[in-house]
Amino acid sequence: MTYTYAFEKLQVWHDARNLVKLVYTVTEQFPTTEKYGLTNQMRRAAVSVVSNISEGSGRTSPKDQAHFYQLAFSSLIELLNQFIIANDLGYISQNGIMAVRTEIEMISNKLNALRKSRL
């Protein structure tokens, strides 16, 4: 049997992983001129969310854990801003951004609760 790490037990980590898949799917539709611009930025921000959740769970100090959960939250907010810009540029529809906002709001609530539990 394979060992399950602490971050793999967190529902917010699973939710954030699903968000990464969504970001990759959505950004595949962006113009190729955005490959090294907005597409890259959005993908990096989404991956940063799950990476900081996993790194935080590996910290022994609750203060360190909270710090990484705060970084994950910050990357999530950065990603929301990038989706808004993508909407402004016509790369994603208003319905598309509303669906993403719902996911981001759910993840942000869970991240905030997780961070607060460590303070």
CATH number at residue 97: 1.20.1440.60
3-class DSSP assignment, residue 89? coil
* Rounded mean pLDDT, 11-31: 97
Residue matched to tokens 């490959």: 35
Phi first, then psi: give them for residue 58, nearest 5 degrees: -90, -5
In a domain, 61, yes or no: yes
pLDDT, one tens digit per residue, over 20-29 is 999 999 999 9
In a domain, 1, yes or no: no
* Total tally of structural domains belonging to the chain: 1
Give 20-28 contacts, CB < 8 A, sequence gap 24+: 20/46, 20/47, 20/49, 20/50, 22/100, 22/103, 23/79, 26/86, 26/92, 26/96, 26/100
Q: What is the separation, in whole angstroms, between the first and last Cα of the chain?
A: 33
Domain containing 108 equals 6-118
In a domain, 49, yes or no: yes
pLDDT, averaged across the chain: 96
pLDDT, one tens digit per residue, over 52-97 is 999 999 999 999 999 999 999 999 999 999 999 999 999 999 999 9
Which residues, in sequence order, are CB contacts of 6 under 8 Å at separation 6+?
57, 58
